[in-house]
Structure 1
Amino acid sequence: MSYLPALSGGLVRLERWASRALVILFVGLIVTNVAMRYLAGKPIVYAEELAAILLVWLTLVAVSISIRDKAQIGVTLLVDRLPRVAQPWIDALVWALIAGMLAILLNAGIGWVRSPAVEFEQIITTGWPKAPFFYIFPIFCATALIHVLGHLAESIGKLTGRLA
């Protein structure tokens, strides 16, 4: 299981580059659309819809990064009052529960994106199918699951006396 933290570390580097690219695309699209609207009088028709899609992608990539960095808000009031011996067990249990939840969401997300209902959805302004853009949800679930499994492996390593 020691490969999971290393895999998570490699994945987060890729996610950081993807998030940078998405920010550049998002800002570039908005600035270009504003320029086209006010300088040329002809805004890009699909810009708002594409910007919304980019923003959703950026958000989910950023959430996955924050899970890897343990930057999520945590309420530890109860856990901090437990004996020191119990705290690592609670940590491992929480990571295991999150992993289970993400596995369920990944399975449901794949089923949703492949469903016939999604096949018919189109981006209004371009007529492109929405399904390829919706794949960010299962991608997010998979990347977040890898990060959580990395944290779980580290927690188990601490419990067994080995660093994962």
Structure 2
Amino acid sequence: MSLFGTLSDVLVQLERWASRGLVVLFVGLIAVNVAMRYLAGRPLVFAEELAAILLVWLTLVAVSISIRDKAQIGVTLLLNMLPRRVQMWVDLQIWALIAIMLALLLQAGLGWVTSPSVGFEQVITTGWAKAPFFWIFPIFCLTALVHVLAHLSTAVAVLRGASA
């Protein structure tokens, strides 16, 4: 197994635990807010905004996991009609393109979250800085990139094995 494969395996375990924790926090926050609204007549002012932030974090962690597990929808009708060797080359090219896109998004995301303008943004209901919450985007890009590089290294190894 490649370095990226091992790193991807470790990373996906952390992501699975993080997603479980985020689900518990999200559901707990909504349940507490519903209880406060109907039992006490005083909902938590920040609950909806914080729930939206948690949902974004949960979504991006889940997408990274789905990239690792190759769980996205794919249209393979044409691809399945090609010879096996051509399919392997296409697979390699697709993983390479995704890696390039994620690397560019990571670079842009780091520039965004470290820009001075982001430092001024605040969560409306609490006054907290939004910058720490925005870090999920470059974190997602990095974790997804590790998973894609693991798939890319596997595709290279398979192609090398097929040509040997």
Relative to the length of structure 1, the TM-score reads 0.96
Quote the residue 1:11 is aligned against. Answer: 11
How far does the alpha carbon of each residue in 1:4-38 deviate from its partner, in whole angstroms, 9 at most, with x for none?
11110110010000000000000000000110111
C-alpha distance in 1 between matches for 2:100 and 2:76: 21
1:55 aligns with 2:50: no
1:133 aligns with 2:137: no
How far does the alpha carbon of each residue in 1:110-145 deviate from its partner, in whole angstroms, 9 at most, with x for none?
001111221111000010110100000000000000
1:116 aligns with 2:128: no
Quote the residue 1:65 is aligned against. Answer: 65
Counterparts of residues 7-156 of structure 1 (less than 5 Å): 7-156=7-156
How far does the alpha carbon of each residue in 1:53-100 deviate from its partner, in whole angstroms, 9 at most, with x for none?
000000000000000000001111221121122111110110000000
C-alpha distance in 1 between matches for 2:161 and 2:3: 17
Over the aligned positions, Cα root-mean-square deviation in angstroms equals 1.1
C-alpha distance in 1 between matches for 2:47 and 2:20: 19
**1:160 aligned counterpart, secondary structure:** helix
C-alpha distance in 1 between matches for 2:60 and 2:85: 35
Supply the AA of the counterpart residue of 1:24.
V
Supply the AA of the counterpart residue of 1:38.
Y
Unaligned residue ranges in structure 2 (runs of 5+): none
C-alpha distance in 1 between matches for 2:161 and 2:77: 26
What is the aligned-residue identity percentage? 72
**1:161 aligned counterpart, secondary structure:** helix
Relative to the length of structure 2, the TM-score reads 0.96
